[in-house]
Structure 1
Amino acid sequence: MKLNIIKKISLSVFLLLTVCTCERDDICPEDVPTTPRLVVEFFDLSNQENIKDVTNLLVQGVGNDETLSGLGGGSTVNTVQLPLKTDENSTQFRFVKDYAINDNGTPNDSTDDFATGNEDIITINYITENVYVSRACGYKTIYKAVNIQFDVDDIDRWIALAQPLNDNQSIEDETTTHFKFFHQ
């Protein structure tokens, strides 16, 4: 009988300690920064202090059929945010200026339609680093030693220059511009 009471007390103490040390499930607040996107702002090549819109811009990851949200070809913008791959050390994008669909004179037949515009392919190279945020939010990826390369064979490039805002550019948040793209 005494052994039974000791077992019950021990079980009760164990359960009480277990319940007291458990915490409710944490939820990552929306205002906590997660993996940042690369922020690019477009500037006028001939007057490099002036921001310059890009008309009918289409931005699409190379090897991806979907365009970036809001950048499907009808957008005129001066800033874009690019999601970078977290499991690789480079990401490629297609930037198509003055993007349009030519219906080839047959508006009711989409089989002969084709895309027009000036396409530039850029490659963004970087080193990834996972940084602990919190128990609820887990880890985020930041990008270090970020640089941008253009397709060297493109003789009709509309993006003339990509300039990082800092030497040894890193991307740790998406609240500021990381690169300036200069174009005509």
Structure 2
Amino acid sequence: MKYFKLLIAICFLGLLFSCGGDDDICESGEGTPRMKVSFKNFDTGKEKTMDSLYVAVDYGSGKVELGKQTSITSRVIPLRVDDSPFTDVYFRTSKTGAESKVRINYTTKSIYVSPGCGIKKTYEDLNSVLDPTTTNPVKALEAGQNFIENEDKTNLYLLF
């Protein structure tokens, strides 16, 4: 009986230490990065804090509202992860106000990260175009870093 208890304790400890691992969960920020958007004043060109900003994105099956944020200087926006060469993003400064449509064109590259994280996409050759029929509230665009590998650098400046 004494050996049986010892065998069960060893099996339990073996199970306890064999479970889990670094590849089970993708927590270290190795997933597909989002695009960072910052804001500038159209007249002065200086960075601006937005009182409120509503963002919606068309992921291929219609617009998805990403919600409202207040008192922000930048915002990260997830882009499409399918094989589409563009993502349409819509910006408003009020819930029912005018909406500006920005089309972000890019090429994607897939990179294998780990069994837990799978594959992440990186975006290259970013080119943003403001829809000329919707120049309110966004008046113009200014390019930032033209590739997305992480969320540290600003990729697009919106001029209000």
TM-score where L is the length of structure 2? 0.75
- Answering whether residue 154 of structure 2 is matched by residue 180 of structure 1, we say no
Structure 2 portions without partners, runs of 5+ = 1-17
- Answering whether residue 140 of structure 2 is matched by residue 161 of structure 1, we say yes
Q: Distance in 2 between matches of 1:55 and 1:95?
A: 13
Cα pair 1:131 1:140 within 8 Å, conserved: yes
Superposed CA deviations along residues 72-117 of structure 1, whole A, max 9, x for unmatched, are 3x633221111100112111121011x14xxxxxxxxxxxxxx2x1
Aligned-pair identity (%): 26
Structure 1 portions without partners, runs of 5+ = 1-21, 101-114
Q: Distance in 2 between matches of 1:29 and 1:85?
A: 20
Aligned-residue offset at 1:24: 6.2
Q: Distance in 1 between matches of 2:104 and 2:41?
A: 22
RMSD over aligned Cα atoms: 2.2
Counterpart mapping for 1:17-166 below 5 A: 26-48=23-45, 50-62=46-58, 63-64=62-63, 66-68=64-66, 71-72=67-68, 75-87=70-82, 88-97=84-93, 99-100=94-95, 115=96, 117-154=97-134, 156-166=135-145
CA 32–119 in structure 1, closer or farther in 2 if over 3 Å, else same:
closer
Aligned-residue offset at 1:177: 1.3
Poorly superposed stretches of 4+, deviation over 4 Å:
22-25
Cα pair 1:93 1:123 within 8 Å, conserved: yes
TM-score where L is the length of structure 1? 0.66
> Which entry has the higher C-alpha Rg, 1 or 2?
1
Cα pair 1:162 1:182 within 8 Å, conserved: yes
Superposed CA deviations along residues 40-75 of structure 1, whole A, max 9, x for unmatched, are 000112221x221223321111322x421xx33x63
Aligned-residue offset at 1:148: 0.7
